[in-house]
Amino acid sequence: MQPAKRLDGINEYYFSQKLREIDALNKAGKQVINLGIGSPDLPPHPDVIQTLFEEASKPSTHAYQNYKGSPILRNAIAKWYAKNYGVELDPETEVLPLIGSKEGIMHICMTYFDEISSVLVPNPGYPTYASAIKLSGAVPVFYELKKENNYYPDLDQLENLIKENAGRPVKGMFVNYPQMPTGQLPSKKMFEELVAFAKKHDILLIHDNPYSFILNDNPMSLFSVDGAKDVAIELNSLSKSHNMAGWRVGMLAGAKEKITEILRFKSNMDSGMFLPVQLAAAKALELDTDWFDELNQVYRERREKVFELLNLLNCDFDKGQAGMFVWASIPSTFKDGFELSDKVLYDANVFITPGGIFGSAGNNFIRVSLCSKAEMIEKAIDRIKATC
């Protein structure tokens, strides 16, 4: 039996295979320090865990759930958007809870894209965008983000890509700010230009927004731009902002028609999230800003250590990045980020992510995660000093 053709060109996720290699090295006694993956190592707030425990202990909370999600969670999401982004959402019609925002990426692609369409994708960018587009039958068309342009989309380049792909019309565009992997923050002007561009070309603008509360004093939603709901959908997540990556809680916000259209697909794929998880997520969204302040203080301390590590490797980086990673250009003595990553892994038993996994524009970069304790980053520094 051969796999379906839709899997042609779809490779195993890089981190999936790399973790197996690291596991083999650990079994051989290497004790690799993993500074590659952005999986928060800190727990959620104790009140969130307590809510999960209490709700899971009730005999009435274990049934199938509403496909649209619990009204309690939807209301919590709407209040969270109003409080933190200044954006008004109707919890009944403009919010859709997700089993992680990665699920939402696939739902959007399967709802709107097919074999006769193409979709604009950032390079560098999150690899799942292109994979989900390919699985839908559509073709990803990459637009390059350059440091000299603040890693913002070049509108002239986008116009050219629209023209070049007239035979397979562009139906959508993925954007992601604070940008992963570069950590670039958005501007209101850039968002306004993207909304105008999407309206001009009648394309769906998909904003993936999971990093806006990590090392960022000015969280911003694309929906802060007038008229954005006419052409846009925004994904968000509790994975990074609330240390709930393994809980798989995300959200999708957009106009009523778009939520309804995506629900047509989603309702055939799952039966709703476990209710105690939804109620615990609602509790997480009620936390005040002290939660983010304490979390960000930890990340700031770790980031200073990562800066020290990168200086040791003679890398160049911007100290104003947001998110839970640091993006850095490599010295010219290395062919690409893969070579530097492998050297550090095999010589010092420290794993850092090669930028090339995020697209060709990332080939001369590496990315270091802040999801390890400061002591472990310090230990990685000592290893690199001793071996590299």
Where does the pLDDT of residue 158 fall: very low under 50, low under 70, confident under 90, or very high at 90 and above? very high
327 and 251 within one domain: no
pLDDT (0 to 100) of residue 272: 87
For residues 135 and 195, state if they share a domain.
Answer: yes
Task: Quote the CA–CA distance of 178 and 255 in Å, as a whole number.
Answer: 23
Secondary structure class of 182 (helix, strand, coil): coil
Examine the pLDDT at 92 and tell me if it is beyond 80: yes
Pair 241, 159 in one domain: yes
Distances, alpha carbon 68 to alpha carbons 77, 88, 95, 186, 303, in Å: 13, 19, 8, 30, 38
Residues 100 and 237 in one domain: yes
Residues 202 and 76 in one domain: yes
Claim to verify: residue 174 and residue 271 sit in the same structural domain: yes
pTM given for the model: 0.93
**Can you give the pLDDT at residue 157?**
97
- Taking residues 182-199, report their average pLDDT: 97
For residue range 358-382, what is the model confidence (pLDDT) as tens digits? 999 999 999 999 999 999 999 999 9
User: Is the torsion defined by CA of 278, 261, 235, 358 positive or negative?
Assistant: positive
State the pLDDT at residue 13.
67
Last residue of a domain, one of 285, 320, 337: 285
285, 315, 339 — which closes off a domain?
A: 285
Query: Within this chain, do residues 280 and 303 fall inside the same structural domain, yes or no?
Result: no
CATH of the domain at 78: 3.40.640.10
> Is the distance from CB of 170 to CB of 201 less than 8 angstroms?
yes
Name the pLDDT band for 17 (thresholds 50, 70, 90): confident
What CATH number did the domain enclosing 33 receive? 3.90.1150.10
Least confident interval from 20-24, 77-81, 263-267: 20-24
At 203-259, the pLDDT tens digits run: 999 999 999 999 998 999 999 999 999 999 999 999 999 999 999 999 999 999 999
DSSP annotation string for 111-123: HH--TT-EEEEEE
Task: Name the pLDDT band for 270 (thresholds 50, 70, 90).
Answer: confident
Write down which residue in 285, 315, 332 finishes a domain: 285
- Rounded distance, CA 341 to CA 308, Å? 17
118 and 202 fall within a common domain: yes
Q: Are residues 252 and 131 in the same domain?
A: yes
Q: What is the CA radius of gyration of the chain?
A: 21
| Structural domains of the chain, count | 2
- The mean pLDDT value for 288-307 works out to 93
**Structural domain span for residue 142:** 46-285
